Chain A
């Protein structure tokens, strides 16, 4: 569709930045412009971008990325507790710790590939989840989750003499409180930076190498290349993205719980990436946004709202429609999610981005045929996101 040139990349980057920063404005008509949801868009966008660097480029399907998310969260909250309420050390430590964690897990898991890799990462994530609930309760505070409290030491804060307040002080970025829109902009800027890094990786020789591993790892090893350093680097980078997302969760809401590490959470990020488009640049961000948006909408709908929607129908039909649809909304949001997941994998494995490029192609082909000159290049299969 589009060959990558520096100019087009710059354009894409510009559009992306603009779109993300103006989200509070253009999402207002569909009722998605409140800070809490916007923050989630950005955080899960980062998570999915990072996951895509591993899964999209190398084809290694990790089912344990939620573990890094959890580690990032815990580290950030501990940084708030021990060091300072400033988000800078929290984010930095979150990324570093989850990166170290990823080095260990990746070093072991990447010895195997395919389904074995999936199961190894799954095993590690389950291990961390189980440990967080049992033995590590002094660190993770078990089921209650790790919370801030008034008499935390906050060594750095007291060192520079931040005034004592009566309540728990809010997280801040050099004095700017990290809640509401400022919290969103903080996450959004980090997402834009993350997107830029991911774009640079996609375009770099390193990214090329990862794609070569995906398309034929046997051939790569026959040419005498040791793939593991490359895949490990990709794994660690994507683990650090997950850690960043986790620490941002703690920044916007200083609480960390073990349920973030459950393997269904790993499944969710896989879904986001698939829904948007695996191996495309922008796809994962779109996927994350779509899922979080619909999660928000669907879980808020209840039977009364449905009755309101189908008010125009006769009584019997209305009750029937409500009875069927109420399975899919509110509590049943996960049912919709599972269905969506299956439909996407069955019919549109390339995700939303592929769907768009198919539509784009069809329109272009139609135009060409009406002009009487069939464009052979236009009908050739495109690589989404190239």
Chain B
């Protein structure tokens, strides 16, 4: 039972990141009808927003180390600490959550620029060409990041307060073996908040209503005198922000490197397909479902019976779903039927 709960928890945070990326992918696909292979790169860019902020915050100068008296020793002390003392240190400690503030405008700009500068010329082209051009863009983005930040993963520790593990088992009365890192719990919460925010935005605002209407029938909405294209551009920006934020918050879990995006892209595409092309609810459900399935498959008991299953479970599920339920779990009729 303990192990069971633990695996579900483990799956949830992974599922959270899948769900966030898949949500963005589906938003773009449902509104603009574009298959965006550069979406993983947006996730990666988000992660590197956090890296950049951390680098900026820790710009240091060399200060004489007073604790060593035998010889002149120097240590690097960030300016923030010199100027603001304790407060400065705290700001550096919270670099990752603070990066959210940086990532939102940056990712919004990146998203808008991408849509206006490239994607909009591809609405009328075939899906194959959309895949190819965004694949090219993904390579370009990740190589640029590699040129600036190097090829090695950059470790990004979470704030001190959230470094340890939560004793979930004791809290829900299951025994001591169920422990779970605080940061993963935070991530899960964060993912839930973002997902809820996106759904509320689409469900309860006029803007969201127009977007939903546009997803149903773009032409009619256009005929009603609404500039649907501009709204869709903004939706693209929002999708970029969503996956960027997913990237920012994921940095303490997996140290980001330049091909982080590609690794997640393939999986999140599979998630989208399993959930059903163009279905937001489907993307989120499938994200969490596949995350949990993956963590169950990596249990030792399962691996003993079916070796290697943890490596392929997601793809296997995708194959089965696509063959049995061609539209995915919650796919709408008429979306990508051909």
Contact = CB atoms under 8 A, between A and B. Distances in A.
B136 A115 contact: no
Interface string A105-139: 00010011111101110111011001101111000
Contacts of B338: 113-114, 217-218
Interface residues of B, number: 39
Contacts of A331: 146
A332 B143 contact: yes
B79 interface: no
Interface stretch (B158-166, B198-206, B282-290, B305-313): B305-313
B308 A134 contact: yes
A342 to B, nearest CB: 4
Nearest to A217: B338
B135 A341 contact: yes
Contacts, number: 110
Given A115-B336, A116-B336, A131-B308, A126 B315 contact: yes
A270 B132 CA distance: 8
Interface in B226-274: 262, 266, 269-270, 273
A118 B146 CA distance: 27
Contact of A115 (B35, B316, B319): B35
A108 B269 CA distance: 18
B48 to A, nearest CB: 16
Nearest to B151: A331
Interface in B137-159: 137-140, 143-144, 146-147
B322 interface: yes
Interface stretch (B91-99, B123-131, B211-219): B123-131
B132 A274 contact: yes
Output the residue of B35, B139, B322 with the most chain A CB within 10 A.
B139
A146 interface: no
Interface of A: 59, 61, 108, 111-116, 118-120, 122-124, 126-127, 130-131, 133-136, 217-218, 263-264, 267, 270, 274, 327, 331-332, 334-335, 337-342, 345-346, 349
19 contacts: A61-B131, A113-B338, A114-B338, A116-B326, A118-B128, A118-B131, A119-B269, A119-B270, A120-B319, A123-B319, A134-B308, A136-B308, A332-B147, A335-B143, A337-B139, A339-B140, A340-B136, A342-B118, A342-B136
Given A114-B338, A123-B266, A270-B132, 10 more contacts: A112-B326, A113-B338, A114-B127, A122-B269, A124-B319, A127-B315, A335-B139, A339-B136, A341-B132, A345-B133
